[in-house]
Structure 1
Amino acid sequence: MLLTLASGALFFPGLFSLSIWALRRARPGWTENDCLTVGTRLVSSVQAVLATGAGLTVILSCKNVITDRSSGESLVTSLSAASSRQS
Structure 2
Amino acid sequence: MGLKRAHLFIDGRVQGVFYRAFTRDLAVSLGLSGWVRNLPDGRVEAVLEGDEEKIGEAIKQCYKGPPAAYVKDIDVEWEDWSGEFKGFQIRY
Larger RCO: Structure 1 or Structure 2 (Cα < 8 Å, ≥ 6 residues apart)? Answer: 2
Greater percentage in helix: 1
Greater percentage in strand: 2
Tell me if both proteins adopt one fold, taking TM over 0.5 as the criterion. no
State the TM-score, normalized to the length of structure 2: 0.28
